[in-house]
Amino acid sequence: MYDINKVREDFPILSRTVYGRPLVYFDNAATTQKPRCVVEAMTEEYYNVNANVHRGVHYLSQQATDLHEQARETVRKFINAPSASEVIFTRGTTESANLVVSSFAEAFMSEGDEVIISTVEHHSNIVPWQLQAAKRGIAIRVIPMNDDGSLDMEAYAAMFNERTKIVSVTHVSNVLGSINPVEQIISIAHAHDIPVMIDGAQSTPHFAVDVQALDCDFFTFSGHKIYGPTGIGVLYGKEKWLDRMPPYQGGGEMIESVTFERTVFERLPFKFEAGTPDYVATHGLAKALDYVSALGMDNIAKHEADLTRYAMERMMQIDGMRIFGPQNPDMKDAVISFQLRDIHHLDMGTLLDRLGIAIRTGHHCAQPLMDRLGVAGTARASFALYNTREEIDIMIAGIERVSKMF
């Protein structure tokens, strides 16, 4: 394991106060804080290396290009992708998903064809498919959720037919913290020769991901949820699919040649990277991945599992507490959505904020899941590698204080 106090020193924001109280930051599923090394690396690049990447013959451009492409290789190693040409930089998980949905549907789907998603999806894996349903007449089928937050795998296995074209599911629910059996989901789909896209926004920061071991066809995640900058994300895609999919956007970078009659597209991954990339953010993302790799993803997973277990034990001792999703902490991944009696989630979040405790409230971009749970929203505490049991004790004391106010 790592020295938690030393790690916390890498994150200056954790030492600040809010309303005169020490900050307790439990909104990590929304975004994580950034270590000094990430911010300093990006600042250094802006001050000393800044130049547009690719095609530049001058020194700065070549240096910036090297950093940008080194970042791609860092991502490749981190998720164990076979080739850097299968790693595409985007603005985040949402854009990665939209890229696949748009280009895959254009290449492979027509009216009546079906995509399978699940009840626990983020809106970014629902709305893009609905746009294609309106545009192309495709159908969306939804894997049901059991009362404990797990997916109904028997129902899923029975969903495949000749119109099924793709499966698109989240690795970990951003609301429930439930870890979906993606290996089984992928295996079942592949038995029908159907590709699978995995939303890794809530898994990649918390435990090791190996896209080759998963054998997923597409995998997406965001930089800002894994201690990197905002505005940068990753799409991994198998070359056999990316090669056959049309570009998502047109412009500079993604072309080999252009005439008024026709355009020849660039090779992978550049075919899907139109325009100037955020080459400083890719460098920041690489530094973030280096940071968590140095700590060890297995160490991070163990630390966060301990926090999740401890928090659930403490929370369930509070009268009237309801925790959504799996009740077994071993089935959760650093996210706890809860409701205390009939106290509105916004009231809970607002009052905890006055105590210096940052949690998330609302529907968490998962309104269909809220409908399934029978609530308008939840309060959500989510943990990261720098959080402590002592911070959980502060949150518990805060929840108990709020409880006495109602």
Retrieve residue 16's tokens.
């600040």
Q: What letter does residue 85 receive in the DSSP assignment?
A: G
Q: Mean of the pLDDT values across residues 209-219? A: 98
E-strand ranges in 28-162 read 87-90, 114-118, 139-143
Query: Do the Cβ atoms of 281 and 71 come closer than 8 Å?
Result: no
Q: Mean of the pLDDT values across residues 84-99? A: 98
User: In this predicted structure, what is the pLDDT of residue 321?
Assistant: 98
User: In this predicted structure, what is the pLDDT of residue 296?
Assistant: 98
Q: Are strands 378-382 and 360-362 parallel, antiparallel or unpaired?
A: antiparallel
Q: Mean of the pLDDT values across residues 49-60? A: 95
pLDDT over 90 (residue 187): yes
User: In this predicted structure, what is the pLDDT of residue 377?
Assistant: 98
Question: Which distant-in-sequence residues (6+ apart) come within 8 Å of 156 by Cβ?
Answer: 116, 143, 185, 188
Query: Do the Cβ atoms of 234 and 90 come closer than 8 Å?
Result: yes
Retrieve residue 151's tokens.
């997916």
Q: Over the range 138-150, which residues count as b (16 or more CB within 10 Å of their CB) and which as e?
A: beebbbebeeebb
Query: Do the Cβ atoms of 360 and 383 come closer than 8 Å?
Result: no
Q: Mean of the pLDDT values across residues 104-130? A: 98
Provide the 10 A C-beta neighbour count for residue 347.
15
User: In this predicted structure, what is the pLDDT of residue 141?
Assistant: 98
User: In this predicted structure, what is the pLDDT of residue 60?
Assistant: 97
Q: What letter does residue 14 receive in the DSSP assignment?
A: G
Write the pLDDT tens digit of every residue in 262-313.
999 999 999 999 999 999 999 999 999 999 999 999 999 999 999 999 999 9
pLDDT over 90 (residue 55): no
Instruction: Answer positive or negative: Cα dihedral of 199, 200, 203, 208.
Output: positive
The closest alpha carbon to 289, from 373, 360, 385, belongs to 385
Q: Does 37 participate in catalysis according to the annotation?
A: no
Write the pLDDT tens digit of every residue in 223-258.
999 999 999 999 999 999 999 999 999 999 999 999
With 0-12 / 13-18 / 19 or more C-beta atoms within 10 angstroms meaning exposed / middle / buried, residue 59 is: exposed
User: In this predicted structure, what is the pLDDT of residue 105?
Assistant: 98
Gap between the Cα atoms of 186 and 239, Å rounded:
17
User: In this predicted structure, what is the pLDDT of residue 208?
Assistant: 98
The closest alpha carbon to 171, from 121, 235, 97, belongs to 121
With 0-12 / 13-18 / 19 or more C-beta atoms within 10 angstroms meaning exposed / middle / buried, residue 251 is: exposed
Task: Give the amino acid at 85.
Answer: S
Q: Mean of the pLDDT values across residues 104-121? A: 98
pTM of the complete model:
0.98
Residue of 318, 365, 375, 396 marked active site:
365
Query: Do the Cβ atoms of 102 and 109 come closer than 8 Å?
Result: no
Q: Mean of the pLDDT values across residues 170-181? A: 98
Residue 251 region, left (φ>0) first, then alpha (ψ -120 to 50), else beta? left
The closest alpha carbon to 181, from 163, 203, 166, 164, belongs to 203
Gap between the Cα atoms of 21 and 8, Å rounded:
17
Binned at pLDDT 50, 70 and 90, residue 110 comes out as very high
User: In this predicted structure, what is the pLDDT of residue 42?
Assistant: 98
Q: Mean of the pLDDT values across residues 165-178? A: 98
Query: Do the Cβ atoms of 317 and 360 come closer than 8 Å?
Result: no
Gap between the Cα atoms of 219 and 42, Å rounded:
26
Strand partners, 362: 378
Domains and their CATH numbers in the chain:
4-30+296-403 (3.90.1150.10), 40-293 (3.40.640.10)
User: In this predicted structure, what is the pLDDT of residue 284?
Assistant: 98
Mean of the per-residue pLDDT values for the chain? Answer: 98
Q: Which SS3 state, helix, strand or coil, does residue 351 take? A: helix
